[in-house]
């Protein structure tokens, strides 16, 4: 029997996506749910709303709250948290690389490596050296991964993920999408999303 699937739409600049990426595999495994990793870009979605940067920069009180909220949650989960500078990071190349890893199956490990570089060590994930180190960390060959990430099929795939997010009315990250059309937005909805995917398919 095929496992029920849950689509995990994440943006590399997104702090709450970091929280979900670090725990989604264990939760999905325990529930017998398969995760489809869907890196996408929030930029076009925010731009369509008239935003030129993260809402955490547009609304500074919300941004300060977000940092404290994530510090508390990360601490409770044994994770550290540091906001990188600049924030939000440009996650385009990280997202294309994550897509390039799907066939060889290093996408989850690479995604977590990038989030740890970004939100634990404060690295700028727009820098090629940072991304190359993440690729090496997960056993991928940087040269061939970077070449694949620059190919037209991968560019098209990232655009398709972002277009799917727009079409399905996503407005933030992480967003979890079930096969029967439900959306769950935010790390605090991850458990419900997995439970929905599990029981809807049962």
Provide the binding-site residues for a copy of itself, judged by CB under 8 A.
Answer: 49, 59, 61-62, 64-65, 68-69, 72, 169-172, 182-186, 188-189, 192
Q: Given CA atoms 7, 11, 12, 13 in this order, what sign does their dihedral have?
A: negative
The residue (of 56 and 115) whose beta carbon lies closer to a copy of itself is: 56
The residue (of 34 and 171) whose beta carbon lies closer to a copy of itself is: 171
Radius of gyration of the chain (CA): 16
49 CB-near residues (< 8 Å, 6+ apart):
171
Taking the complex as a whole, the smallest distance from the CB of residue 48 to a copy of itself amounts, in Å, to 10
The residue (of 137 and 182) whose beta carbon lies closer to a copy of itself is: 182
Taking the complex as a whole, the smallest distance from the CB of residue 49 to a copy of itself amounts, in Å, to 6
The residue (of 83 and 185) whose beta carbon lies closer to a copy of itself is: 185
Q: Quote the DSSP letter at residue 168.
A: T
Taking the complex as a whole, the smallest distance from the CB of residue 61 to a copy of itself amounts, in Å, to 4
Longest dimension (CA), the chain: 48
Taking the complex as a whole, the smallest distance from the CB of residue 156 to a copy of itself amounts, in Å, to 24
86 CB-near residues (< 8 Å, 6+ apart):
124
Cα 83 from Cα 70, distance rounded (Å): 10
């Amino acid at each position: 029997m095929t496992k029920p699937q849950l689509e995990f739409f994440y943006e590399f600049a997104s702090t709450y996506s970091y929280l979900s990426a670090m725990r989604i595999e264990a939760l999905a495994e325990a529930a017998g749910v398969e995760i489809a990793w869907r890196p996408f870009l929030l930029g076009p979605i925010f731009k369509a709303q008239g935003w030129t940067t993260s809402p955490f920069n547009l609304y500074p009180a919300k941004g300060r709250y977000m940092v404290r909220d994530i510090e508390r949650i990360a601490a409770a989960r044994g994770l550290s948290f540091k906001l990188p500078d600049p924030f939000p990071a440009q996650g385009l190349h990280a997202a294309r690389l994550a897509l390039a890893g799907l066939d060889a199956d290093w996408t989850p490990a690479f995604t977590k490596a990038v989030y740890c570089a970004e939100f634990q060590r404060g690295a700028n994930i727009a820098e090629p050296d940072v991304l190359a180190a993440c690729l090496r960390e997960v056993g991928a060959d940087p040269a061939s991964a970077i070449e694949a990430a620059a190919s037209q099929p991968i560019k098209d795939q990232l655009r398709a993920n972002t277009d799917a997010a727009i079409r399905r009315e996503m407005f933030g990250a992480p967003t979890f999408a079930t096969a029967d059309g439900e959306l769950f937005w935010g790390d605090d909805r991850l458990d419900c999303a997995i439970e929905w995917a599990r029981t809807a398919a049962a």
